[in-house]
Structure 1
Amino acid sequence: MKSKKQEYKELSDKDLKERLDAEQADLIQTKIYHTTTPLDNSGSIREKRRNIARIQTELRARELKKA
C-alpha cells in the first residue's frame, strides 16, 4: 500500500493542482457542514488539512527543484 506522500510524488503538476483545488473545496464544504450538524468523525477535517499541506509541500519541492 502506498503512502499519501508517495502517491502525490507520482502525480503530474497539473493533477496535483487539481487535487489541491478539490481538497480545499472539500475542506470548506466539510467545515460548513460541521458548523450546522456536528460530524461523526471530526478528525476528517484534520486529515483534509494535512492532505492539503502534503500537496502544497510536494508542489513547492518541485518548484525549488526546477529553479
Structure 2
Amino acid sequence: MSKEGLNKKVDGLIDKAAGKVKEAAGKATDNRSLEREGKKDQVKGTAKEKTGQAQQDLDSLKNDRR
C-alpha cells in the first residue's frame, strides 16, 4: 500500500471534514463567504481523497505485476 497515497486520502478526509464545519458555521452565522469557503474545501478534499486512492490502486497494480 502506498504511504503517499494513504496520506493524500487522509488529508482529503480532513479537508472535507473542515469544509463541512466551515459550511455549517457559515450557514449558522449567515456568512456566505465562510459557507462558500467550506464548500470549496470539501471539493478540494474530495479531489485529494480520489487522487490518493488512484495512487494506491496504481501502486497495487505495480506490486501485482512483480
TM-score of the superposed pair, with normalisation by structure 1: 0.59
Q: Which residue number in structure 2 is paired with residue 30 of structure 1?
A: 22
Distance 1:56 1:18 in 2: 7
* Structure ID, larger Rg: 2
Which runs of at least 4 in structure 1 moved beyond 6 Å after TM superposition?
Answer: none
Q: Deviations over 1:8-55 (max 9, x none)?
A: xxx923432331232122122112212210225133123112211211
Gaps of 5+ in 1: 1-10
Relative to total residues, which structure has the larger helix share, 1 or 2?
A: 2
Query: In the aligned structure 2, how far is the partner of 1:33 from the partner of 1:23?
Result: 15
Residues 46 and 25 (structure 1 numbering): CA distance in 2 closer, same or farther, change over 3 Å? closer
Matched, 1:39 2:44: no
One-letter code of the match for 1:37? T
Q: Percent identity?
A: 7
Size of the aligned set, in residue pairs, is: 57
Matched, 1:55 2:48: yes
